[in-house]
Every structure is written in structure tokens, then in C-alpha cells.
Amino acid sequence: MYLTFAIEFEEDAIKNIQKDYIQVKCDPNQLKLIKSVSQILSEQIDVPILTMRGATWYALKEWQTINNKNIAQLNNFPITEKLFAAKEIFDIGKRVLTEILKDPCNENKNKLDIAYEKAFKIYLNAINRISH
């Protein structure tokens, strides 16, 4: 069970993120992991799952653009590069949601930080299980 943080976001920005819910080419295991992490974040910060998935896909798309790589290529990366890429993607997602906070006070930013750090730890545990 997770502690849920109530955070409000700008409604128009949320609608835009949901509209930008795009498919990024990834393999079935990556898709499953992405959906799991999105679900966990959605529950922790009390955001609709479509909004969280939209923010996640947006982060993946932005990471691909910045790095000129496809997310599916991560499977071929050494573990250290996978983890570095994942942290970058998590940071992009957190930034996207931080930018649309209705009340961008430090308390709400800290709630997002906590939620993303918890989700990243869950991601690390999942990667650890997969690689062993």
C-alpha cells in the first residue's frame, strides 16, 4: 500500500498531456514495466492514470529526441547505461508534471519528488529481478 499525495494540476495542461498520449516503440517487457510505474505514480500522487501514462509517454518521446535513440534500444545497453537512461526519463516525467502544478509550492514539488523516488526504487527492484 502506498501513501497518496493530493496534488492539483492545471486542467488544460492535463488535457494536453492526455491528448499527447502516444505510442513509443518498445518491447512487451518494457511496456509492462512502463504501465506498472505509471500506475504506481498515478496512485501515489492521485492523478488519473491516462494523465500519468501521457506524462510517461511524453517523457519517453522527449528522451528519444534528446538522445537520438529509440527506447527499444535500451535492451542492448549495458546495465549502467540503462539505469542512467531510466533516471533521465524519470526526471523528464517529474519535470513535466512539476511544470503543470496548479500550486507550484515547495510542498507539492516535494510530494512529486517523493513519488518519483519511490517509483524509481520500484523500477530498480524490477530491473534487478529481470537481470538475475
Average pLDDT over residues 118-123: 89
Judge whether residue 1 has pLDDT over 60.
Answer: no
Structural domains in the chain (count): 1
Average pLDDT over residues 103-114: 86
78 occurs within a structural domain? yes
Q: What percent of the chain has pLDDT over 70?
A: 80
How far is 126 from 116, CA to CA, in rounded Å?
A: 15
pLDDT at 34: 82
Least confident of 4-13, 86-95, 120-129: 4-13
What confidence tens digit (pLDDT) does each residue in 8-61 have? 666 776 666 655 555 567 778 778 888 888 888 888 887 888 888 888 888 988
Range of the domain at 58: 25-131
Q: How far is CA 128 from the centre of its chain?
A: 18
Average pLDDT over residues 95-113: 86
For 80, half-sphere exposure in the C-beta direction (CA atoms, 13 angstrom radius) is 0
114 occurs within a structural domain? yes
How far is 23 from 54, CA to CA, in rounded Å?
A: 10
8 occurs within a structural domain? no
How far is 65 from 59, CA to CA, in rounded Å?
A: 10
Question: Beta-carbon neighbour count of residue 8 at 10 Å?
Answer: 13
Question: Beta-carbon neighbour count of residue 61 at 10 Å?
Answer: 16
126 occurs within a structural domain? yes
